[in-house]
């Protein structure tokens, strides 16, 4: 199975929020499936660059994250809304629940969005997020990651997952990463370092393709 179990005891909060009874499947109504999702003009080009929009540039290692959004058979999905959110280079989120002693960056909010083009491509510019502590167990640290949300053709079609960076030493100790039991499936959440998009004197490139459904599907997070 691609997706993690709803309750994975090592990931403590799933014990409280994971459903313990079988899910009730509600059929989608026609208006849910055919209603407007969002206007294309609501997303502007600058929204895909998390390093802009502030008085200065954020601290950290500049990165370009790009890839394709594909359907079950490898067909590109165009015009899909991809949203990302992440910690800053010091591992701190701009969120009231994140109060661990790492600095906020006045030049980094940590959220971006874009639409896929006709080939299903997307591209974000950002800084590499830092690892952060999360109190799940003694000395618990999350590997560096970027949260991704992908909407399909309707608001009821949504995938939320996390993208990791290759070779992170924190992988073996992270219960969220390991809640996906099949190591091959887990690897689908790890981006690859990409010389093609690495830009001289400017940024490192990472590639992350997202597949919705089918045997090569990108797993959901728990």
Active site residue 132: yes
- Among residues 200, 166, 198, 203, which one has the least CA distance to residue 61? 203
Check 68, 92, 113, 142 and give the catalytic one. Answer: 142
Question: What is the spatial distance between Cα 136 and Cα 138, in angstroms, rounded to a whole number?
Answer: 7
Active site residue 93: yes
What per-residue string of b and e applies to 156-187 under the rule 16 or more CB within 10 Å gives b?
ebebebbbbbeebeeeeebbbbbbbeeeebbe
Check 11, 93, 122, 164 and give the catalytic one. Answer: 93
Q: Are 109 and 54 in contact (CB under 8 A)?
A: yes
List alpha helices for the chain, DSSP H: 14-17, 30-34, 175-178, 183-186
Active site residue 142: yes
Active site residue 206: no
Check 62, 94, 147, 207 and give the catalytic one. Answer: 147
Question: What is the spatial distance between Cα 111 and Cα 127, in angstroms, rounded to a whole number?
Answer: 11
Check 68, 92, 145, 188 and give the catalytic one. Answer: 145
Residue whose pair of structure tokens reads 């998009």 in the numeric block: 197
Active site residue 147: yes
Question: What is the spatial distance between Cα 147 and Cα 149, in angstroms, rounded to a whole number?
Answer: 7
3 state SS of 105: coil
Check 122, 132, 164, 206 and give the catalytic one. Answer: 132
Who contacts 48 (Cβ-Cβ below 8 Å, separation ≥6)?
A: 112, 113, 114, 122, 123, 124, 125
- Residues carrying an active site annotation: 93, 132, 142, 145, 147
């Amino acid at each position: 199975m691609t997706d993690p179990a709803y309750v994975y005891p090592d990931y403590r909060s799933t014990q409280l929020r994971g459903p313990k009874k079988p899910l009730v499947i509600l059929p989608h109504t026609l208006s849910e499936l055919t209603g407007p999702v969002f206007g294309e003009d609501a997303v502007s080009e600058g929204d895909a660059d998390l390093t802009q929009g502030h008085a200065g540039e954020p601290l950290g290692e500049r990165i370009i994250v790009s890839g394709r959004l594909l359907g079950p058979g490898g067909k590109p999905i165009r015009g899909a809304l991809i949203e990302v959110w992440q910690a800053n280079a010091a591992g701190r989120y701009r969120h009231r629940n994140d109060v661990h002693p790492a600095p906020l960056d006045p030049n980094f909010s940590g959220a971006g969005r874009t639409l896929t083009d006709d080939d299903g491509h997307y591209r974000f510019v950002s800084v590499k997020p830092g690892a952060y502590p999360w109190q799940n167990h003694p000395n618990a640290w999350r590997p560096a990651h970027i949260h991704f949300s992908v909407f399909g053709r309707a608001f009821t079609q949504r995938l939320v997952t996390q993208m990791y960076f290759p070779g992170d030493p924190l992988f073996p100790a992270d219960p969220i990463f390991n809640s996906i039991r099949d190591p091959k499936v887990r690897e689908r959440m790890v981006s690859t370092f990409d010389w093609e998009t690495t830009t001289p004197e400017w940024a490192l490139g990472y590639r992350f393709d997202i597949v919705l459904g089918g045997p090569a599907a990108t797993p959901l997070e728990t």
